[in-house]
């Protein structure tokens, strides 16, 4: 399969690239992204074939249908990492929480967040390509809290790869921060920046497109790539769990094969939603994808009004910090799929230069064929956490945003699959406050309080963080990022 560019070709980039080329150099012409030239058809025959398959078997078949230029042995090695999840036979449990609402738990991997689903295999794939080419790569990662730990975990001590991870200082939970700053592998560099996730992601995109930065790396015999969901190597693995979640409902007898469902996704950088969109376009029976946001609700406004306006917008710190994002990169891939390269280039140029764009009526109507959206405040989210716990389900604040979106956007009598992107351990002070009213609680105290209240153990990989030494102490201004990374290399 070939990959093409969302904003058209500038005459210097190849018109089409392979999968391995797209993940090694993820930024395309005019600052655009790579997308598949075509999508494979995964109709009911594919779903029936894998009704009794393991997650890995179904995943391998889907990757095969994308015809990616990765050796079968590498794919097998990458998918084998799911064996280290809590339940190798079912790495993504789907749990019924209401009569027509089910939660797909994506957090049962090593860093207790959904990013493990894509980044665990992605690390193997990218490192294997680098070794086969006898090339060295710097992997950039910008994180609002979950991508960073997952990227560091998958790439640590891998050959031919170094990672520089940018996170907003003060913009993550304590557990997320500890997962990053206690990493001590020599090929990892963690950098706290004085700014927001959008600042971190903006720096990442600037460096990926910077010829002077790439030239400086070349002098050090190093090429450049990224672990964020601007990289399609992330997205391809995020399609899989949407298919799995649907099949789980069929296996559980909750739906019949071919019955439509809603997919209810916390917004973030839109990679999770994009995976669901591609699954829908490939034949998964989906009525609509519901986008759940927090107070940083630019995507709610886009999907309900057609306006993406950042002119007076500022990131608001919330109880669901992984979604404290204003520029969601993967919306661009949806714009391309719906409106083509010329319109996408026009819209993204307007967003980059004027900090806003507006869809016309027909474009908004087209977008709303696939998406609906709502947002929840922090207080609303905590109310959902408390109510769900009273019914026997413990969830994190990002998952909680899905409950309001489900109530307001699932208009038809279809079942809804909500995606839980993080374990309760990642945001314990907020959950403790929701359940008991505790305030200003340190993570370790909140973890212990919730553990006692819920009669559930704290995973060892989380508990151990509080005894590890902090090895990554760099906190810098945004303007110092490039020099800091080059010094690391």
The answer on pLDDT for 440 being more than 80 is: no
Give the integer Cα–Cα distance in Å for 431 and 453. 11
pLDDT at 438: 86
pLDDT at 201: 86
Domain boundaries, the chain: 80-112+233-467
Tell me the pLDDT of the chain averaged across its residues. 95
The answer on pLDDT for 319 being more than 90 is: yes
pLDDT at 346: 98
C-alpha dist (Å) from residue 411 to 22, 172, 288, 395: 38, 34, 10, 24
Question: Which range (4-8, 161-165, 225-229) has the least confidence?
Answer: 225-229
Give the integer Cα–Cα distance in Å for 421 and 400. 10
Over residues 379-403, mean pLDDT: 97
pLDDT at 9: 97
Residue 168 dihedral angles phi and psi, to the nearest 5°: -75, 115
pLDDT at 454: 94
| 80-112+233-467 maps to CATH 3.40.640.10 | no
pLDDT at 270: 93
Give the integer Cα–Cα distance in Å for 424 and 382. 12
pLDDT at 209: 87
Burial (CB count <10 Å: 0-12, 13-18, 19+), residue 358? middle
pLDDT at 145: 85
pLDDT at 368: 98
pLDDT at 138: 95
Over residues 395-422, mean pLDDT: 97
pLDDT tens-place string over residues 37-53: 999 999 899 999 999 99
pLDDT at 173: 87
pLDDT at 156: 95
Give the integer Cα–Cα distance in Å for 152 and 165. 8
pLDDT at 190: 97
């Amino acid at each position: 399969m070939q990959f093409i560019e969302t904003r058209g070709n500038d005459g210097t980039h190849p018109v089409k690239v392979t999968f391995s080329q797209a993940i090694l150099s993820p930024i395309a012409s005019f600052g655009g992204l790579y997308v598949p030239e075509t999508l494979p058809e995964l109709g009911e025959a594919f779903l029936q074939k894998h009704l009794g398959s393991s997650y890995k078997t179904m995943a391998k078949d889907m990757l095969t249908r994308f015809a990616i230029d990765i050796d079968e042995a590498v794919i097998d090695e990458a998918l084998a990492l799911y064996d280290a999840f809590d339940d190798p036979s079912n790495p993504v449990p789907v749990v019924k929480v209401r009569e027509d609402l089910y939660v797909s738990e994506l957090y049962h991997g090593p860093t207790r967040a959904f990013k493990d689903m894509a980044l665990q295999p992605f690390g193997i794939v990218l490192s294997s390509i680098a070794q086969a080419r006898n090339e060295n790569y710097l992997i950039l990662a910008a994180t609002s809290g979950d991508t960073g730990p997952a990227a560091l975990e998958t790439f640590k001590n891998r050959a031919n790869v170094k990672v520089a991870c940018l996170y907003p200082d003060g913009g993550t939970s304590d557990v997320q921060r500890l997962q990053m700053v206690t990493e001590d592998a020599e090929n990892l560099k963690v950098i706290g920046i004085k700014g927001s996730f959008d600042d971190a992601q903006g720096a990442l995109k600037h460096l990926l497109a910077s010829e002077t930065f790439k030239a400086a790396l070349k002098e050090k015999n190093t090429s450049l790539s990224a672990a964020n969901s601007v990289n399609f190597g992330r997205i391809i693995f995020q399609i899989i769990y949407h298919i799995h979640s649907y099949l789980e409902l069929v296996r559980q007898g909750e739906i019949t094969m071919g019955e439509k469902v809603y997919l209810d996704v916390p917004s973030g950088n839109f990679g999770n939603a994009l995976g669901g969109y591609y699954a829908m376009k490939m034949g998964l029976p989906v009525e609509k994808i519901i986008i759940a946001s927090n107070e940083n609700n630019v995507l709610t406004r886009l999907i309900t009004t057609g306006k993406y306006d950042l002119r007076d917008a500022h990131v608001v710190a919330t109880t669901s910090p992984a979604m404290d994002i204003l520029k969601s990169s993967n919306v661009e891939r949806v714009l391309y799929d719906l409106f083509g390269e010329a319109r996408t280039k026009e819209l993204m140029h307007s967003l980059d230069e004027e900090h806003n764009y507006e869809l016309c009526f027909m474009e908004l109507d087209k977008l709303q064929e696939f998406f609906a959206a709502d947002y929840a405040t922090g207080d609303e989210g905590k109310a959902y956490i408390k109510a769900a716990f009273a019914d026997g389900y413990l969830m994190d604040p990002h998952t909680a945003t899905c409950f309001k979106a489900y109530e307001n956007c699932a208009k038809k009598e279809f079942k809804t699959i909500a995606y839980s992107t993080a374990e309760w351990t990642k945001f314990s002070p907020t959950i403790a406050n929701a359940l008991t009213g505790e305030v200003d609680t340190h993570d370790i105290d909140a973890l212990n309080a919730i553990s006692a209240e819920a009669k559930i153990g704290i995973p060892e990989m989380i508990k151990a963080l509080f005894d590890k030494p902090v090895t990554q102490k760099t906190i810098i201004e945004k303007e110092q990022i490039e020099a800091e990374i080059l010094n690391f290399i």
